[in-house]
Amino acid sequence: MTQATLRTIWMTGALLLFVFVFTMHSETQNSDFTLVIKLPIEFKASENISHVGYALHGLRMIGLVFWTIPFLAWIHARGESGSAASAFPFRLLDIQPASVPGVVVQTIAFLLLIVAPLVSAVHFWQIVEGEGKVCQPIPAIACEGIWSRPVEPGRYWDHTYRLTDGTTNRGPSYEPFVEPILALALLAVALGFVILLLREMCRAQKRPLTIHEPS
């Protein structure tokens, strides 16, 4: 795969994820402003979702998908040389990444596409962990925290549990204990790839400049 193809794949995935995360973040703030991209598929809630539900969806998406963004960026950086800005796979029009305007563009892109999702993940986690309640279909059963499972739990992933804000037992399906562990583990993986990306961007400055296809 060429560097240009890798950049195209990376930018498509990173921008789509940014739009989704931005929308979920806005919904947790009860904001009417969202970013919209016309796609063959559409994310649309089938019912009113609380800010806890939006935080859960945002955390799930970041956990499942975000690690691929710094991972692919790291792969790209390993094939670049000359400057840290060029090693980062974002490109805007014909601006040269190593130029002064290019460095500014690359810095902004890094903050929006790498740092911002991590900040949103912390925001989502604070809502889910601090305000989320695990409820069951039977209203008589008291809702508990996100780590709690009954003494005799049902099967996994059978829609027994719902994550809500505690005011109702209606909300997204949720697996207590399992999902928080998976989310934290995947976020740790993503953070590890971010560190590798930063290290490889620094190394790119020390490698002899080589000629690739046009950036």
Determine the pLDDT at residue 59: 93
Q: Which helix (H) or strand (E) holds 190?
A: helix 178-206
**Rounded distance between C-alpha atoms, residue 65 and residue 189, angstroms:** 11
Angle, alpha carbons 107-108-113 (nearest 5°): 100
**Rounded distance between C-alpha atoms, residue 71 and residue 17, angstroms:** 14
**Rounded distance between C-alpha atoms, residue 110 and residue 104, angstroms:** 10
Determine the pLDDT at residue 130: 87
Bridge-based pairing state of the strands 162-164 and 133-135: antiparallel
Determine the pLDDT at residue 91: 92
- Number of C-beta neighbours around residue 101 at 10 A: 11
Determine the pLDDT at residue 215: 46
pTM of the model: 0.83
Q: What is the pLDDT along the chain (215 residues), one digit of tens a residue?
A: 788 899 999 999 999 999 889 888 888 887 665 555 544 455 555 456 788 888 999 999 999 999 999 999 999 999 888 788 899 999 988 889 889 999 999 999 999 999 999 999 999 999 998 888 888 877 777 888 888 766 555 555 556 788 888 777 777 888 888 888 999 999 999 999 999 999 999 988 877 766 555 44
Give backbone dihedrals phi and psi of 173, rounded to 5 degrees, phi first. -60, 145
* DSSP strands (E only) in 85-139: 133-135
